[in-house]
Structures are given as C-alpha cells and as structure tokens.
Amino acid sequence: MKKFLKTSFVNFSRWVSPALLGTILVALISGYILFVPPIHGLADNGDFYRSILSNGIYRLPTSYSQYSDYVITKFGIMQYFNENNVSVLSSQTLFIQIALFLNKLFYSKTIFTIQFMGLVYYLFYLGGIYLLINALVHPFRKLKHYFLALLIVLIFADSAYTLYFNSFFAEPGMLVLMVYICAAIISLARNVYSKRWPMITLFFVSTVLLITNKQQNAPLALSFGVVAIGIMFLPHFKARRMATALGILIVLFSGIGIYKSIGSEIVGANTFQTFSHGTLLETGDPTKKIERGGVDGQFALMRNENYYSKDYATLDPSSPYVEKHLMKKTGFGWIMRYYLANLKQFNNLLDLAAKDIAAVQPRAVGDFVRGSHHKPGEQVKYFTLYSSLVGAFFPGKYAFDCLLAVGFIAVYSVGLYLDFKSNRYMGILRFFLIFGLMTIVVFVPIVSIIGDGDADLAKHLFLIPISLNMSLLIFVSDLINHTLWNTKGDKADV
C-alpha cells in the first residue's frame, strides 16, 4: 500500500509540477466564483465612475439603485465621442481597455459585461500565481513542495481577494502586479531561469504599473526602489547595472509623476478628510485640542463628515468658507504638528489601521448579483477560510505589525550578512524584497492616516496583507528548502 502510494505520487509528480497543480486549483476555485452563473463580484460603492467614465463605459439606466447592494453585471459602451477626459491618470485604464477589446470582439459592441473585466485579471493572475509557485519551489517536486503549493492556493485563491476581479476597483490590478513583482525577485534570487533579463524587465514593468495604478500608491515608489537595490547585486552584471539604476530612477519618477497628477479637488478632499476622519477621531472631545493648534474649535463638529457628503451637509465642506477658515490652516505641517503633540491619539489611529489590515473583503458592498436570491449587501463565504482566520486572529495592534516587521528584517539580515561575506546574492535579493515589503507594512498606515484619515482606510491598506502573506510564504519556503540562513544548500542556485 505504502509502495503503491509512493509510486502513484512519483507518477503524479512526473506529470504535474507543484506550480501547475497550484495554478489549476486557483483557476478552478476562483473561476467557479467569478464565472459560473450566478456570478459574484463586488458592488459599486460609488467610486466606479472614476474608472469607467474615462474609459467610455457608462451605467445603463435602471429602476433600482446600482450602489452597494448588488453586483451590476451590464454596463453600456459609449458609441460617440467621450467628453469625459481622463480624470484620473491610472494604469488601471490598461486593464479596462483590454477587457473592453475582448468584450467587443466576443460579446457586444454596445454592452459591456463585467465578466470580461474579471477574465482579464483572472488570466494575468493565473500567470502570476504560476510564476510565484515556480519561483518558490523550483526545481523540487517533493511532497512538502506540493504542500507549499497548496498553502499558496489557500492564501491567494481566497475569495476575499478574487472577488475584486469582477469590479471596477483598482485593487485587483494591485494584487496581480504585486504577485508578479514578488515572483520576479524570488526567481532572480533563486536563479530559476537561465536568462535574467526577462525577470528584471517583468519586475520593472510591474512596479511602474503598480505605482501608477492608483494615486495613493505614489509613496510606494520608495519601497520598490529599495527592493530594486537588490538587483544591483546580481553578478556578471556590470553593463546592466546602469540599466537597473535607470529602472530605479524610472520607478521613482513614476511615483513623483503620479503624485503630481493628483488634482486640486482630490487634494481638497484629502485635506478635509485628514481633519474630519483623522485628527478628530480616537479622542474624547477634540474641541479644545484643535483650538490649541490654532483652528476654530467649532470645526470639531465636522467629525466623521465626508468631503463628498452622501445626503445632507450642515455646511458644504467644499464651500469657500471651509476652505478659508479651516483647510488653509490644516495643511501637512499642521497635521504633523498636531499628531506630534497628540501622540497617543496618533497611536490609537494606527491601531485602528492595524485592525483594518485583516479586513480585505469590503463589508460595505454586496457580493451577489440581483436575482440570485441573496439579501442586498450579503457577503460571499465560499473559500474564505484563510481571510476569515486572519480576520479573527490577527492582532489589531500597530506595535505588533512593527514587531513583525522587525522580526522579518532581523531574520533575513542574517542571510544578508552571510551571503554578503561569501559573495552570494540570493540572501541579498531576498533581504531587500522582505525589507521593501516591510516598509509597506510599517509606513503605509502612517501615510494613510496622515493623508486621508480613516476614510477608505481598509482600501488604502490593501497592499499590507498581501505583503505580509508574501513574506510568510517566502519564510515558509525557506524553511522547507532549508535556505533561511544557508543559501548554499539551495539546489536551484547554480
């Protein structure tokens, strides 16, 4: 019996690599939820218009509200000149245009169906997953490597992530690109492919696309700049070291570019919400506190108000009065000084952010389509084991996240030191990847709180759970491959 099992496993492993197994499983699990009718996805929270109007897609008129409750599957494609100029510069446009092209080719020239959006992300995602698993387990086909592949499936086929594909949010693009970035670096570190330039190109292209995907990603240029430093340490590489340096520069400039493209209206919204959703929160009565900072204490009454109010506003936040007496005073410098003077409140806000890290699946919008016999706003529970476990047990403390980051960096700096001494590069590349991911974990909450308060916080933090998951997977794979500190043993390393 034991022998039979062993031979069948050997036969199985000869035909099916861990990477193939994982990719097929992800394809089946997420394919079912995305494409088998009634399909699932994410309903519009009111943000879709930003990405669809500039791409020539509009909402079809309906008798019911198209917001929040149910996923809308059909949209109209504009037939004439689109007067909505590109309001927000974003690489998301690229994904939408591909989906639009496929839709026109196979489905209709007038009606856009959301599955094509899902299909584009889905295909890119599967490619990324294959590269990622291959990077982590190549060239081994032992049982434990299949186990690692299954762990990746458990984490990355989680519906909390894949539901995003059937929506016009920018997040699925970020997820897909993040998978490619990590797969590229790990492949380079473990020398999975004989030629290096395809992975280096993949890394830089994905990074630039990720940074330009959403304006809030601008500061990430620094994190990925750090990751790219690792590439400089690759051997026999003098001529291309210049090219890599150029790549880093492009990454940094794309960050600056996307930051500069933020319109004045969005700056106004952010300035206001940093105040109403940040400085006024997590404290007893902020009246006197903001007065000490030189702002009229009456504005404390704006606590929790949105710049774009949903129904009624006592005083329109975009009015000249608020601009003159509030927002002119509460610039970046003021916010920094305020938080420095109220460190405890700032810490509370960071803990609030830490709690939101685990909330990947947006609870405010429904996951089902109309007519699927589900309640409005109901959430999918299918294949959400990992995200629910994390949601239940991951501690919502910012200090914990920092400790985790310090732990990861400390563990991998040993590998860095050893490889540096013995002229190997795997540990160096890996360290800079982990270091870059950890800067995301540590700094994105701070940037989000200072930049926009707790408004849309969970979505601003979307990359953090992905970074943590990636680090966890790298860690587990290093344990399995026995390469945590001694990279010499890695058979992939030629």
Number of residues that bind another protein (CB under 8 A): 26
**Phi, psi dihedrals of residue 326, rounded to the nearest 5°:** -120, -60
Query: Which residue, 45 or 191, is less far from another protein as judged by CB?
Result: 45
- The only residue of 302, 416, 441, 444 in contact with another protein, by rule CB under 8 A: 302
Q: How far is the CB of 283 from another protein (least distance, A)?
A: 11
- By the 8 A CB rule, do 298 and 289 touch? no
Nearest alpha carbon to residue 180 among 157, 155, 154, 198: 198
- The only residue of 64, 197, 308, 400 in contact with another protein, by rule CB under 8 A: 308
Query: Which residue, 210 or 326, is less far from another protein as judged by CB?
Result: 326
Nearest alpha carbon to residue 174 among 115, 220, 135, 136: 220
Q: Does residue 281 bind another protein (CB under 8 A)?
A: no
Name the one range near another protein by CB under 8 A: 9-17, 248-256, 283-291, 449-457. Answer: 283-291
Q: Does residue 265 bind another protein (CB under 8 A)?
A: no
Cα four-point dihedral sign 134, 131, 164, 220? positive
**How many CB atoms neighbour CB 245 within 10 A?**
14
Q: How far is the CB of 293 from another protein (least distance, A)?
A: 14
Q: How far is the CB of 95 from another protein (least distance, A)?
A: 29
Q: Does residue 64 bind another protein (CB under 8 A)?
A: no
What lies within 8 Å, CB to CB, of 459 at 6+ separation is 169, 171, 362
Query: Which residue, 240 or 303, is less far from another protein as judged by CB?
Result: 303
Q: Does residue 303 bind another protein (CB under 8 A)?
A: yes
Cα–Cα distances (Å) from 217 to 57, 223, 443, in that order, read 24, 10, 12
Q: x/- string (CB under 8 A) for another protein, residues 313-332?
A: xxxx----xx--xx------
C-alpha 447 chain-centroid distance: 15
Q: How far is the CB of 449 from another protein (least distance, A)?
A: 20
Give the HSE-up count for residue 334: Cα atoms under 13 Å, Cβ half-sphere. 19
111-113 vs 57-59, strand pairing mode? unpaired
- The only residue of 2, 61, 194, 311 in contact with another protein, by rule CB under 8 A: 311
Name the one range near another protein by CB under 8 A: 298-306, 354-362, 376-384, 426-434. Answer: 298-306
- The contact set with another protein (CB under 8 A) reads 285-288, 296-304, 308-316, 321-322, 325-326
